[in-house]
Structure 1
Amino acid sequence: MTVRALLVAAVVMGLAACSATAPRPTLPPERIASAETEQLAREQALRKQSTWSLQGRIAVANQGKGGSGRIDWQQDGPRYQVALSAPVTRQSWRLSGDDASARLDGIEGGPREGRDAAQLLRETTGWEIPVVALAEWVRGVRAQALGPARVAYGEDGRLARIEQGGWAIDYVWNAAMPAGSALPARLTARRGEAQVRLIIDQWGDGVPE
């Protein structure tokens, strides 16, 4: 079974909670400076915590095609291992690598390797997933490798959006968690017809205290 077929088969599991949310009120201009100071402090602290993991749900779409499933992401510095499974079909695949190489296991025809994870996924599945940048965006941090970014904050002072490298990443936070220490509860990354949605059920090592 191909990677695309695997995930399309899992669409029936649904990600209704990932649906787009209504636009949130933006932060008044006089509060932006303090929000940016807090965000920079978060980013500095999180970059020091380079080992982390998450478990959750993912939905991917590109040019009218897509699918969904469970995701288990483990990050150790630049090295990552991302496993995705479709409970209905009991099929799974695993993407592993670092900044300079990537390997995709569990696909028809055997493992495939490449220098760039995003390119490997694009060639294999047709999907556009910025793996290296997403490893930072998923924690609500600007991707260092992509240069300047535009950010916006919600009325509560939390990060609401990052625009970087042609992508727009919108965030939803757990309101019960303190703004300075929270990690995102869900996010949606979009560029053109490409879209990646994540719901995080559990964060592992590296979560700020």
Structure 2
Amino acid sequence: MSRRALTTAALTVLLAACAAQTPRPTLPQQQVAAAETRQIAREAGLRAQQAWSLQGRIAVSNGSKGGSGRIEWAQAGAHYEVALSAPVTRQSWRLSGDDSSALLEGLEGGPRQGLDAGALLRETTGWEIPVVALAEWVRGARAAGLGPAQVRYGADGRPARIEQGGWGIDYRWPESTATDALPERLDARRGEARVRLIVDEWSVGGRE
């Protein structure tokens, strides 16, 4: 599959949807310590729930290279399977692996393998997608093993922005006040690289 296979009109729609987000009020400073305590407990709970999946829409860009489409992500511990498809072109590819190996299928010329999913995507598509870290960021958690992170909390006490590894990840959360609520949108950026994701459906373990 060519690098432009996922570049469709859906990219424009998704960009507009992400751009429409308005800044959310930040948490008063005197409440940040309590929010951080809750976040630490929340992240521990998320890591205990090792099986999860999502369905949604994604747009990626890195300078002049970009694309968009549907995404299905299934995670079981460190193992991931990520499928992307462009409904208009009816083309798709699948990325699978863990934190030490990756396999990318659906490319012209056959499957490609590598030790690092992010490097493999960068070499084959030109896109910058931090797959292993994104598996934690997408649930509103700091990525383990990626160094220090700064968290800015929204007025609801949930992360409005995480900065880690040179990336800035902005979140939009559902109106639900449930403690196990998961983000409905994220926008991750580092330099010219950008990953925008809208989640249509979450499934944790066997629960949707």
Q: State the percentage of identical aligned residues.
A: 68
Gaps of 5+ in 1: none
Residue of structure 2 equivalent to 1:141: 141
- Whole-angstrom CA distance in 2 between matches of 1:35 and 1:92: 40
User: Normalised by the size of structure 2, how large is the TM-score?
Assistant: 0.94
Deviation for aligned residue 1:165: 0.3
- Whole-angstrom CA distance in 1 between matches of 2:150 and 2:83: 30
Please give the secondary structure, in 2, of the residue aligned with 1:200: strand
Q: Is the 8 A contact 1:55 1:203 kept in 2?
A: yes
Please list the CA deviations of residues 30-67 of structure 1 after superposition, one character each: whole Å capped at 9, or x if unmatched: 11011111111110100000110000000001113211
Residue of structure 2 equivalent to 1:79: 79
- Whole-angstrom CA distance in 2 between matches of 1:107 and 1:10: 21
Gaps of 5+ in 2: none
- State yes or no: 1:186 paired with 2:164: no
Please list the CA deviations of residues 86-135 of structure 1 after superposition, one character each: whole Å capped at 9, or x if unmatched: 00111110000011100100010100000000000000011100000000
Residue of structure 1 equivalent to 2:8: 9
- Whole-angstrom CA distance in 2 between matches of 1:177 and 1:185: 13
Q: Is the 8 A contact 2:4 2:66 kept in 1?
A: no
Residue of structure 2 equivalent to 1:118: 118
Residue of structure 1 equivalent to 2:64: 64
Greater shift, 78-87 or 149-158, is seen at: 149-158
Alignment-mate amino acid for residue 14 of structure 1: V
Alignment-mate amino acid for residue 102 of structure 1: A
- Whole-angstrom CA distance in 1 between matches of 2:8 and 2:57: 14
Alignment-mate amino acid for residue 105 of structure 1: E
Alignment of 1:88-99 (within 5 A): 88-99=88-99
Alignment-mate amino acid for residue 201 of structure 1: D
Please give the secondary structure, in 1, of the residue aligned with 2:36: helix
Please give the secondary structure, in 2, of the residue aligned with 1:7: coil
Deviation for aligned residue 1:184: 0.3
Q: How many residues align?
A: 207
- Whole-angstrom CA distance in 2 between matches of 1:69 and 1:122: 18
User: Normalised by the size of structure 1, how large is the TM-score?
Assistant: 0.94
Q: Is the 8 A contact 2:11 2:69 kept in 1?
A: no
